[in-house]
Structure 1
Amino acid sequence: MTHCSRRRFLTLAGGALLAAPLAGRLALAAPGDWPQRPIRYVVPWPAGGPTDTFGRVIANELATLLGQPVVVENRTGATGAIGVRHVARSEPDGYTLLAPNTTSLIGNVVATPEAVDFDPLKDFTPIGLFVDSSVVLWAQASTGIANFAALRERARDAERPLSFGTTGGGSVSELSVEQLARHFGLNLLKVPYKGTAPQVADLVAGHIDIGVADYPVAAGHFASGKLVPLLVIGRQRLPELPEVPTNFELGIEEPDFTIWNGLFAPAATPAPIVARLREALAVAARSEAFRKVAEGQGNRPIFQTGEEASARLRRELDSRRKFKEQIERGVPAA
């Protein structure tokens, strides 16, 4: 072997040895020169909430897999619409991503389509949905309502309507109970609140009869005997409440008010970058770090991407728009 050839051989061999510890990262390296700088990961909700918590773990995992920092940026306001709109108008170069949930991407469009000024199907490419969350319908213990069957009986025969709290027009707390009222002919009175905390506080205090809340928010009051779980709003029972049925079991299939969280890129993001992001997200969503924050307490890790995710978005948009139209026109539930 000549001196030149030997030197070239040693250079190549040394490069291979250096690359070995980074094999996991390089296996997920994007085509071309992407990414060559930090990636912005826009969360349209405040820091500390569920979407932010899920997003920060996913962002950290993606940073390791892609070899560049993935920086979480909270752009809040208008029930998530401000952050969503910002990403919709960003360059489709793979350096600005969106981490929405059902409310910010689907609920907004159905409730106020003109005001939000974005289209979840035309303005975005889904990288993947990575967690499903179900809320629970609770009763104040002093009402004596022990299960959903008792609620149905009480709400149909009561001289006065039972009161339920809602955290805003178009929210899951409003629409899911409206869905139950229409389906079963329940006599209910809506009481609006400016957030989950005051709603749950009044529910615990007995100022309202029933209300919807995340399991972690109400779990302490359930343990103390102040709240009673009646129904899981979703398609699967919660391990924490194995005896509590779902609205799906009661024959209510659409709209599905399960709340998902996911990752999206602006429309027209190059296909090779989308493919690489999906590959990386698949790994991140199955990581032990993510399972620790996304499993239990009403949450369930999933991974839906490509056409599966797009089909779910189309179905949810269609079913919620039809539901809204039925309410506005006063059409009786089927």
Structure 2
Amino acid sequence: MDLFLSDYAEIFENLFEGLYVVDRNRVIRRWNRAAEQLTGFTAEEMIGRRCEDNLLNHVDGHGRQLCISNCPLVEAMNEGQALENEVFLHHKDGHRMPVRVRINPLRDRCGEVVGATELFVDMSEMSGIMQQVEDLKRQTLTDRLTGLPNRACLEGELQRSLDEYKRYGWPVGLFFMDIDHFKAVNDTYGHERGDDILRLVATTLAHNCRASDIVGRWGGEEFVGLVRNATTASLLQVAERSRMLVEQSFIMVDGRPLNVTLSVGAALVREGESAAGLVRRADHLMFESKHKGRNCVSADV
């Protein structure tokens, strides 16, 4: 394997896709520059580590941990076949980001599988979001701490979406999110760490928002997601995925992971409903999630 890696070292380093190579024991033997840029982890931090060290902390769309069990690298090596999948990796900064991975078994000159390569690319639809953010900055409609659209912006976007609903029949859904036990985070770790958590939640939500939708900070520890052309299924899917990915995100504090959860209320617009009425209904559903024990989605669609 070492000869193979040295032969193709220059190619690996110049790929636009993130790439890492593992041996049969899932020890990382190569970590290219694109992988550093996409994940925040340097080659020095990753080479020699094992997948089960769980630095990338891959989860699938159901929140299942993949690096400890159900590892696609193991499947590819055992089956001797390439496979593709979409997973959510844990960036070094703490947020979750969706990536498409393509895994190929790596064979020696005798045809024996001696490891695997994994190529991965960022699947977050950030181009539309970032363009929105740049436009909003000029209009002073962004939240200074998180960089997300602020309440004034969200209220304007919601009203425009309701106007489109009345004119064209394009339905809109809204989900209201509140960070569970956020006061305890501030009291225990300080407001600076509280701000880090707010940025972590914001970045995770933004990275996993569809380009046609909008997510922003309503105020304090509250966030709102606006889903255009929504159906019951699509609204619940986006709300549940947001909840799950925030739960799976964390920052490191004194060598230990710190994470939070969300209580979420999701509501689909009703005929004749005002913006304030839709927000109020989603807000009440969020409190219903609090009463259910937190870290869940309550819906009235």
Which one has a bigger Cα radius of gyration?
A: 1
Write 1 or 2 for the structure with the bigger share of strand.
2
TM score, norm. by length of structure 1:
0.25
Write 1 or 2 for the structure with the bigger share of helix.
1
